[in-house]
Structure formats: C-alpha cells, structure tokens
Chain A
Amino acid sequence: MPHHVVARAAEIPPGSRKLVHVGERSIVIFNIKGDLFALSDKCPHKGGSLSKGRLTGLVESSSPGEYTYSRPGEIIRCPWHNWEFDVRTGRSWCDPKRLRLMNYAVTVEPGAKLVEGPYVAETFAVAVEDNYVVVETK
C-alpha cells in the first residue's frame, strides 16, 4: 500500500482543489472545510477531467417546483456532460451504484514524519518543518 506525497498542504486550502499525478493515475484532491478527499480525475462516462469541473451544491426537491440547495461546494460536475459526483463518496448522482469515481485515502502528514519513510515523494523535496498531503494507492 504505497503512500505518495503529492502536495504541500498549503497548496490546497479549504474550497480549492488540485490535480496531481501518481504514476499513471490522475487524482484530484478537494478540500471541503479542511477535510481532504482524493478522487480519480477521470469521469467514468467519457473521461472528462473532473478537476476542471464546476463545484456546486446538492439540488433536491420534495415536490415539483420546489428546490432545496444543500451541501454547497460538495458536488463536482464533469465539465464535459455535467454529470454530478459527490466529492465525499465519489458516487454519481444519476447512477450511484454503478457509476462512481475511485476514491483514495488521503491524509496530511508533518514533514518530520515523512522523512523517516516509507513514504514516496516523487516530485519534490520534503522539508521537516512543513505539512504534506499524502495519498494512499491500493
């Protein structure tokens, strides 16, 4: 279960996202109010890059003509065909059982811990005094 250091924590503040690459994989990391979520960047429909999509809220209805808007900033829409995915789970709205994004465990670790290993920092040097985003691939 390799762990990959993919970004400095400060690069992904709350409300933002970052596209990272781990080997062949493109992974988009979202920060929702301090919680990080790492999802495959590739839409399972036609392969659009979700990191370029629009973050919105969840639109629901109790009756025709009634709208409720909740969870702002937690739904990502694919930029190609507008399909919606829940950032917290990776599941699509339209077909949540079959259409979902691979999600990855993601944590923030202090540099001091990372330099001890077994973490893989492929793209940049780790400084002891900084914090880093670590993605675990299966």
Chain B
Amino acid sequence: MSDDWTGAIDCDFHPRAPTPRDLSRYMDEHWRDAVETRGIDAWDSIAYPANAPLTIRPDWREAGADEDPVAAAKVTLDRFGFAHAICNCLFPVQAFRDENLGAAFARAVNDWLAAEWLAKDARLRGSVVLPIQSTERAVDEIERRAGDPRFVQVLMLAFGEHPLGKSRYWPIYAAAERHSFTVGIHAGSSYHHAVTGSGWPTYYLEDYAAQSQGFHTQLGSLIAEGVFVKFPRLKVVLIESGVTWLPPYLWRLAKFWRGVRNEVPWIDRSPEAFVRDHVRLTAQPFDAPSGAEHIGRLMDQLQSDTMLLFATDFPHWQYDGDAMLPPGVSPALRRKILIDNPLATYPRLERSP
C-alpha cells in the first residue's frame, strides 16, 4: 500500500529551537547567571529565520505544530504511525565564539531535548548537539550522552571553522565509533565564515542554495583525509543536504582521484565506494523535478539502494500534503528507505528500548 507509513523512521525531525532562557534552566548557577547578566535573551542563526516560508509549513505554523511533542506527534508520528523520529535541534550552539559558553549551551540543549521531548514521547530519539568549537569538549559531550540510548547520533553542521575530515576532529569520530553513534551533518553554519568560498551572499535564497557546497566540502574532506579508513565502522548522514548533487560530485571526485591518488594513497579504492559504504542522505528535500523517472535515474547513478533515509524534515516546508517521498519509488525501495536503511544506519536505534 503506497500510503502506508507504519513503522517508518523519520531521520530528520526538528523541535522548535529553545530560547536561551528556556535553556538556562538546564545550566549550572554560573552559566545561568551569565545568560542573565550578559542579557543573552535571543540567539538565532540566519539558517532558519522564524518568518521564512521554509522554516515551518504554513498549516503547521498555524497549528504551532513544532512547539511541543504532543502537537508535533499529532501531524507526524500519530497521524502516520512512524516508529521513531530523530530530533535534530538547530539551536545555534556552534555560533558562539567562546568555547566554554558553547559547551555550556550544548550541554543545556541536550538536557533540554531529553527532558522536554525525548522523555515525553517514547518514540522520539535525539541527536547530541556538539560544541564543535572544541574537540575536547565535544568528546566530553559524547561521553556524557553515551549511556542514554535515546541519543542515537551526534550532530554537526555543513559549514564550520575547518573541513570536518581534518585530524583535529578525529577524536570526535573515535568517540562516536566507540559508542556506535552515527555522525549527522545537517545543513547550517556556525556563520563564522561565509557560506560560499568567495564571500557573503546577499539573500536568503543564496544562503540556502549554497548549503550543498558545504556538503561537497565536508564529503570531500572526510574521504580525502581518510576518516573512513581510520574509522571503518563510522556512518555519516548528510541531513537536509538535498540528494541530486551527489552523483555529479562523486563523478568528479572519482575522476580526479585517478590522477592524483598518490597524494592520498590511503584512498585505495575509488571514492564512490567509500560513499556507498559510509555515507547516507536524508530524502527530504528531494531536489529533483517532479517526474517519477528521476528517482530511478538517481538510484542508477548511486548504484545503491541503501543510501537514502526517510525524513520529513518537519516542520520545514519541503512538501505539501503527505507527499513525503518523491514519486516513482518502488514498494521494495520504499520499505528500505522508510525502515531498513535507517535501522542499518543507526545501530543505537536497534538497541534502544
């Protein structure tokens, strides 16, 4: 049945980001006082401005559907019978310049998510927001959450201070692999640098469209620096990256690798093989024209039916009505995207209660 969503695992689901005041309740006295004293009463990034059409679908905006787990479940998990939804909180922890402040907020965000969302709906799972400003503190945060099976992923952004394959970040991957966390990279930026390689764009349109460039950078870096060689069990999910940019980029990467592979001899097979083994993508937004033939062509180009993961990207406005998957998905592929692929990608999901 093509409209049966029972048991699906939503791999990108966004609670409304909390305010600094919401989070200060989860901080120790020093940081609670600091938030008050410094007057940090708002901390928003330009990634999903509150009033942008993309940020929340109109009918969900009207219903306040992302404000709490009950309202959110009503239009998602309850309505369709999803088994799980993985909560990615986009409070911009990464944008703080002060790594101590960033770590305090990351810890508060994760405590807040656990208490306000995960504890209130047993189907919800969480991503650990990392204070990426400091590798050491990011590893501390992973260790702090490792014992809580509701957290299944660690979360980073498509744009940051350095390409994510650099060895300065390897302790994060070691910790993730040690505790079977999947590594999620979500669209977004620390906004410490422009979201392009040649300066700041002017309009929101450019910012959002530029996100796939960030994913190019991160994917190329993770492969070339040898992260998947060093951490052979690691799985990386590119979240809200779009999908159709990947085959042309892989074609370029594989072609150039043939000529310069002696610079990266640890890459001992063609780069697309690493992508098939280690990289997954959430299927919303599915950035292709609306025809049913595109999904088939994409699957041919990827040469893999294990790479796409179901996601609503709730409450972002990526589709209308219930059109959560692109047209043309066969029943067998549908089952993989909705259930099998997410289970294979998130080992902590299988083990969790």
Contacts and interface: CB of A to CB of B under 8 A. Distances in A.
B342 interface: no
Contact of B265 (A59, A81, A82, A83): A59
B226 A84 contact: no
A94 interface: yes
16 contacts: A56-B262, A60-B268, A61-B265, A61-B266, A63-B226, A63-B229, A64-B167, A64-B225, A64-B266, A82-B258, A83-B259, A84-B261, A84-B262, A94-B257, A94-B258, A95-B258
Contact of A64 (B229, B257, B260, B262): B229
B258 A63 contact: no
B258 A67 contact: no
Interface string B98-137: 0000000000000000000000000000000000000000
Interface string A82-107: 11100000000111000000000000
Contacts of A83: 258-259
A81 B261 CA distance: 11
A60 B269 CA distance: 12
Given A94-B257, A94-B270, A63 B230 contact: yes
A43 to B, nearest CB: 11
A66 interface: yes
Contacts, number: 40
Taking chain B's interface residues, is the majority helix, strand, or loop, or is none over half, making it mixed?
Answer: helix
Interface of A: 56, 59-61, 63-67, 81-84, 93-95
A66 B267 CA distance: 12
Taking chain A's interface residues, is the majority helix, strand, or loop, or is none over half, making it mixed?
Answer: loop
Contacts of B227: 64
Given A64-B229, A65-B226, A94 B266 contact: no
Residue of B167, B259, B260 with most chain A CB atoms under a 10 A cut-off: B259
Contacts of B259: 81-83
A55 to B, nearest CB: 13
A46 to B, nearest CB: 11
Contacts of B262: 56, 59, 84
Residue of A60, A64, A65, A95 with most chain B CB atoms under a 10 A cut-off: A64
Contacts of A81: 258-259
A61 B261 CA distance: 11
A65 B264 CA distance: 8
Interface string B240-260: 000000000000000001111
Query: Nearest 7 CB-CB pairs, A to B?
Result: A64-B226, A82-B259, A61-B265, A59-B262, A61-B266, A94-B258, A64-B266
B265 A60 contact: yes
Contacts of A82: 258-260
Nearest to B227: A64
Residue of B227, B257, B266, B270 with most chain A CB atoms under a 10 A cut-off: B266
A83 B265 CA distance: 13
B261 A94 contact: yes
